Structure formats: structure tokens, C-alpha cells
């Protein structure tokens, strides 16, 4: 048995491996009895069984061993941990079988996060000081998931403090625990938009897994390397990672399958491969809903919305996502839902598209819906990037910034970016922003004051950006040589094929 488990853990972790794991567990269940040695091996390879989707089977074996009185201290915790995935709805009752009270509380925290009860999970964990005095499962899972819950609730500073406290207290923790906390740190900084930090942490976790021979954990880290690479602008690396995965089946059978599908989904969205994205979203969504993982179910349903945007299924996808977000609200998904709802009928209009324009070249190129929520790296690092839908501005990679209580200043910038390289006369700018007929004596000073405020707003967020707005010979424009881009919703004229705002 030990040899078989070691071979399974080394991979590949695919459908064939799942069948072998299932046969092994069924053999144990059919045997005369389960020994303490066998129970210890099952506990040692708990992550493997969840990755392959055989939680229900190992739960049955663990329960039988408990009933037979097998002397393995980790057995009760193993049973409760797999119950989180196999039977999430009734897991609170099954936690009574866990030997220690703190273990039961730790698993309750993980269960609450999975069901989307983030505030409850964070509150329960706080009463236990986030379990940071412990260095192994299941407590380390509770520490990690509680910190992630805080980050999802837009309490990132608290999340960072929890992880830092655990790392300070356990510098010599096991590699399995340390790689998991590194990954959680990556999840947190990724939510904050720190692509470089997310990638560095994933690479550190991958190195630790390789050094310690943690093959199953390394498979999950690969997925996170793919996410971080894609968000950091290295689409080819993310595509190479996805290409290394086994071919997906008709459905996601285990945690690893579903996690890989989330990466497939995001890569496909970036590449505009709507059918691939749609299939991956369906597989991941079905798995996460079946196993009660509300947070990742929302991720899959959000991806389905992007995959179905501007298709006849857009309304159904948005309705399903809206229900999921209302059941399990998180700050990030509530914000995304507001954007999708704000698009309204445009999301279902076959002639509407998102376009990113580069003012300096008057060029226009399609940007997939995913860029609404995480702008392409090239766009973010342009001199000036305006998301005219979410009303966010990036300046040479800094941002996003919002104008807040400066709607006239915001409209002035939007108008100048839409005007292109030639800009507008002072009079035309006034008419476009304020409306009505321009009278130099009454209105020119108002325009100059607004331009001064716009330059100050830009320069205070990126030194030198105040020079992006130029007034020369009575015309206002974006300075030549400035890489200025706008993401906006456009409509394609059916007769001319020309994109129009």
C-alpha cells in the first residue's frame, strides 16, 4: 500500500490516478480490517485523495477504522476533514467525532469559509487567535482560510498580519505547512493587485515543494503559478502550464481538476476562446456547487458571465452569478456584479464590444471582457490608461485611481481622450463638458481652472503627469508622445463595420 500511494502522489494526477486511488480504497473497505499502519498512511496522503476527488470513499474507510477502534490519533481529524468536501451540508454534526475541541473549531472555520460565511469564519477564528499557535493541519488550514476570508472581506491589512504572525511563530514548521502559508500570502497580495508579489510567492512555494518532494501540493502550486503569470503579463507561460495538464473530462472529479479548470477558464478568456472558457466554467462551477465551496463557485460563475458576454446566454449566466453573490457576498464579487449590472442591456447586445483605444495612434483593438476587471499589463503600464466604464485611471502602472468628488475634472479628461491627437478648442471643450454655447468672457476662466485641477490631479499621483495635458494656440489636447489609452464600450455599425462610441 505504501508503495502504491507514493507512486500515485508522484503523478500524473489524472483520471487514471483517480481510478487507482478508488480501487485502493475499495480494497481497504472490503478487507477484513484496517490496521493502524494503513490508517497512518491514509492520513499522510490526505491531500492526494482530495485532489483526486475520492473524499467520500476515504471518509467511509476512516469511519470504519474509527468504529473498529484503530489506534491512529489523526484518524478522526482525517474523517472530519474529508467530510468538509464529501458532505459539506452536514459537516457541523460530524465534527463531534474529532478528538480535540480546537481541531473541531478549526474545521468549523474552514467549513464556514467554504460556504461563503466569511464574516462568521473570521469571527470564530479571532476567538481562537486565528489558531496561530499551531503549526499543522487542521489548525494551519483554519489560519490560512481565516486570513483569506479577511482579505475577501476587504480587510487585507488584518489578513497580512495573521499570516505574518503565524510565520514568525513557526519558522521551523513542516514544508507542507510553510508552502501552504506562502500560497495563502500569494492569494492575499493577488487580491490587492500585486502581480509581481503573487508570482514571487508562488515560485517560492513551488521551490519548497520540489525540495521537500511534495508532489501533490506542487500540482496546486502550478495552477497558482499560471494565474500569477497570466496576471503579470506572461500569457505564454500560463498557456504552457495549462498545456501540461491532462485533458479535461466531462466533469471535474476532484479539487485539482476544478482548480485547473479555473486556470483554463482565465487563460481562455484572455485569449478570446469563448467555447473553451464556457466549458471550463461549467465544469468548475458544477464541482464547487456540489461540494459547497461557495467562494470558488462564485469565481466560476463570474467567469461564465465573461465567457457568455454578448451571447444569447448572457442573461442566464448573469442571473446565476447574481444569485450566488447574494448568497455568499464578498467585497470583490459585489463590486464585479455592480459593474456587470451597470452594463445593463449592453452585456446582451451582439453589436456591442469593449474596445481599448490608443489615442496617440488613433488605433483601436478589441479587449476581452476580462480587462474590465483586471486591465492588461501593457495597458496598466501605459502613460495614461482610463477605464471609462469603471471610471478608473492608471498612470504608468500606478493605480487604480478614482476622481471621487471631481466629476467635471473626470469628464474633461474623458473628453480630451476621446478627441484624439488633435484635441479640442477651448470653446468646443466647454460645450462638450458643460453644455451650452461658449462665451469667452464668462467661460474661459472656468475651463482654465478645470484644466489646472486636472493637471494637479494627474501630477499628484504620478510626478510629471501634469504635463500630459497641453494648451497651445487655443487648443487643448493630450501631449504628443503620451501613450494614452481608453477602455470603453462601443457599438459596431452594421453597415460600415466601424467601431463607434
User: Tell me: the pLDDT tens digits for 110-162?
Assistant: 989 988 899 999 999 999 999 999 999 889 999 999 999 999 998 999 999 99
Section 416-434 average pLDDT:
89
More confident residue, 418 or 284: 284
Residue 375: inside a domain, yes or no?
A: yes
Residue 32: inside a domain, yes or no?
A: no
Burial of 496 (0-12, 13-18, 19+ CB in 10 A): exposed
pLDDT at 288: 94
Which grid coordinates belong to 495?
A: 453597415
* pLDDT score of 248 more than 50: yes
Section 2-28 average pLDDT:
88
Residue 131: inside a domain, yes or no?
A: no
Which positions ≥6 away from 495 have C-beta within 8 Å?
A: none
Residue 218: inside a domain, yes or no?
A: no
Per the DSSP assignment, residues forming a β-bridge with 488 are 355
Give the side-chain half-sphere CA count within 13 A for 300.
Answer: 24
More confident residue, 98 or 105: 105
Cα–Cα distance between 244 and 247 in angstroms, integer? 9
Most confident of 48-52, 218-222, 442-446: 218-222
Q: Is the peptide bond before 12 cis (omega within 30 degrees of 0)?
A: yes
More confident residue, 358 or 148: 148
Residue with cell 479548470: 261
Cα–Cα distance between 364 and 358 in angstroms, integer? 6
pLDDT at 362: 38
What is the helix (H) or strand (E) element at residue 487, kind and residue range?
strand 484-492
pLDDT at 90: 63
pLDDT at 89: 64
pLDDT at 364: 34
Where residue 195 falls among pLDDT bands split at 50, 70, 90? confident
- Least confidently predicted of 199-208, 293-302, 352-361: 352-361
Section 236-258 average pLDDT:
94
CATH classification of the domain holding 420: 1.10.10.10
CB 369 within 8 A of CB 420: no
* pLDDT score of 500 more than 60: no
Section 34-61 average pLDDT:
89
pLDDT at 118: 93
Which grid coordinates belong to 154?
A: 476587504
Section 393-404 average pLDDT:
87
pLDDT at 361: 44
Per the DSSP assignment, residues forming a β-bridge with 357 are 364, 486
Which grid coordinates belong to 342?
A: 451597470
In b/e form, how buried is each residue of 138-159, taking b as 16+ CB within 10 angstroms? Answer: bbbbbbbbbbbbbbbbebbebb
- Least confidently predicted of 71-85, 88-102, 203-217, 324-338: 88-102
Residue 476: inside a domain, yes or no?
A: yes
Q: Which domain holds residue 491?
A: 353-500
Which positions ≥6 away from 280 have C-beta within 8 Å?
A: 248, 261, 262, 264, 265, 268, 303
Cα–Cα distance between 476 and 64 in angstroms, integer? 78
Q: What is the pLDDT of residues 82-96, one digit of tens each?
A: 877 777 666 655 666
Three-state SS for 204-250 is HHHHHHHHHCCHHHHHHHHHHHHHHHHHCCCHHHHHHHHHHCCCCCC
pLDDT at 389: 80
Cα–Cα distance between 15 and 250 in angstroms, integer? 11
CB 325 within 8 A of CB 334: yes
Give the side-chain half-sphere CA count within 13 A for 436.
Answer: 6
Domain count, the chain: 1
Instruction: Decide: helix, strand or coil at residue 365.
Output: strand
pLDDT at 67: 86
- The pLDDT > 70 percentage for the chain reads 90
When computed from its CA atoms, the radius of gyration of the chain, rounded to whole angstroms, is 26
CB 224 within 8 A of CB 199: no
CB 296 within 8 A of CB 187: no
Where residue 265 falls among pLDDT bands split at 50, 70, 90? very high
* pLDDT score of 224 more than 90: yes
Output the average pLDDT for the chain: 86
Strands 384-387 vs 392-395: parallel, antiparallel or unpaired: antiparallel
Determine the Cα angle at 71 with ends 65 and 77, to 5°. Answer: 65
CB 397 within 8 A of CB 382: no
Cα–Cα distance between 135 and 178 in angstroms, integer? 9
Q: Is the peptide bond before 400 cis (omega within 30 degrees of 0)?
A: yes
Task: Record the pTM.
Answer: 0.84
| 332 closest CA partner among 61, 150, 136, 121 | 150
Determine the Cα angle at 149 with ends 394 and 333, to 5°. Answer: 50
Which grid coordinates belong to 190?
A: 493577488
Amino acid at each position: 500500500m505504501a508503495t502504491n500511494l507514493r507512486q500515485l502522489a508522484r503523478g500524473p494526477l489524472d483520471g487514471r490516478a483517480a481510478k487507482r486511488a478508488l480501487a485502493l480504497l475499495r480494497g481497504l473497505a472490503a478487507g477484513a480490517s484496517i490496521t493502524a499502519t494503513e490508517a497512518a498512511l491514509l492520513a499522510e496522503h490526505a491531500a492526494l485523495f482530495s485532489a483526486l476527488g475520492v473524499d467520500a470513499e476515504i471518509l467511509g474507510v476512516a469511519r470504519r477504522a474509527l468504529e473498529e477502534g484503530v489506534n491512529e490519533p489523526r484518524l478522526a481529524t482525517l474523517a472530519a476533514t474529508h467530510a468538509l468536501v464529501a458532505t459539506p451540508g452536514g459537516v457541523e454534526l460530524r465534527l463531534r467525532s474529532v478528538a480535540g475541541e480546537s481541531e473541531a473549531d478549526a474545521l468549523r472555520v474552514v467549513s464556514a469559509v467554504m460556504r461563503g460565511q466569511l464574516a462568521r469564519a473570521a469571527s470564530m477564528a479571532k476567538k481562537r487567535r486565528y489558531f496561530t499557535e499551531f503549526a499543522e493541519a487542521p489548525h494551519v488550514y483554519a489560519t490560512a482560510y481565516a486570513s483569506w476570508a479577511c482579505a475577501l472581506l476587504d480587510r487585507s491589512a488584518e489578513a497580512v498580519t495573521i499570516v505574518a504572525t503565524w510565520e514568525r511563530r513557526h519558522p521551523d514548521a513542516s514544508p507542507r505547512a510553510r508552502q501552504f502559508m506562502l500560497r495563502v500570502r500569494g492569494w492575499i497580495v493577488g487580491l490587492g493587485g500585486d502581480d509581481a508579489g503573487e508570482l514571487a510567492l508562488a515560485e517560492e512555494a513551488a521551490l519548497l515543494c520540489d525540495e521537500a518532494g511534495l508532489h501533490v501540493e506542487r500540482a496546486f502550486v502550478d495552477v497558482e503559478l499560471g494565474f500569477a503569470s497570466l496576471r503579470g503579463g506572461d500569457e505564454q507561460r500560463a498557456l504552457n502550464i495549462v498545456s501540461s495538464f491532462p485533458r479535461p473530462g466531462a466533469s471535474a472529479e476532484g479539487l485539482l481538476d476544478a482548480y485547473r479548470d479555473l486556470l483554463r477558464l482565465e487563460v481562455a478568456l484572455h485569449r478570446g476562446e469563448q467555447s473553451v472558457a464556457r466549458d471550463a466554467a461549467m465544469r468548475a462551477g458544477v464541482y464547487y456547487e456540489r461540494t459547497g465551496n461557495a467562494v470558488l463557485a462564485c469565481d466560476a460563475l463570474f467567469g461564465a458571465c465573461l465567457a457568455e458576454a454578448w451571447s444569447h446566454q448572457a442573461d442566464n449566466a448573469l442571473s446565476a452569478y447574481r444569485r450566488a453573490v447574494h448568497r455568499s457576498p464578498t467585497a470583490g464579487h459585489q463590486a464585479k456584479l455592480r459593474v456587470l449590472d451597470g452594463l445593463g442591456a449592453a452585456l446582451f447586445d451582439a453589436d456591442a464590444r469593449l474596445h481599448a483605444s490608443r489615442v496617440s495612434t488613433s488605433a483601436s483593438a478589441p479587449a476581452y471582457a476580462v480587462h474590465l476587471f483586471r486591465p492588461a499589463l501593457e495597458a496598466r503600464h501605459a502613460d495614461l490608461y482610463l477605464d471609462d466604464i469603471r471610471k478608473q485611471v492608471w498612470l504608468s502602472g500606478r493605480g487604480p485611481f478614482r476622481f471621487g468628488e471631481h466629476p467635471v475634472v473626470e469628464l474633461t479628461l474623458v473628453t480630451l481622450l476621446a478627441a484624439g491627437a488633435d484635441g479640442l478648442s477651448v470653446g468646443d471643450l466647454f460645450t462638450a463638458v458643460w453644455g451650452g454655447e461658449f462665451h469667452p468672457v464668462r467661460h474661459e476662466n472656468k475651463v482654465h481652472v478645470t484644466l489646472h485641477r486636472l493637471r494637479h490631479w494627474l501630477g499628484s499621483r504620478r510626478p510629471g503627469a501634469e504635463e500630459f495635458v497641453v494648451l497651445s494656440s487655443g487648443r487643448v489636447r493630450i501631449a504628443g508622445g503620451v501613450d494614452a489609452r481608453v477602455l470603453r464600450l462601443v457599438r459596431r455599425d452594421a453597415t460600415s463595420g466601424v467601431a463607434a462610441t
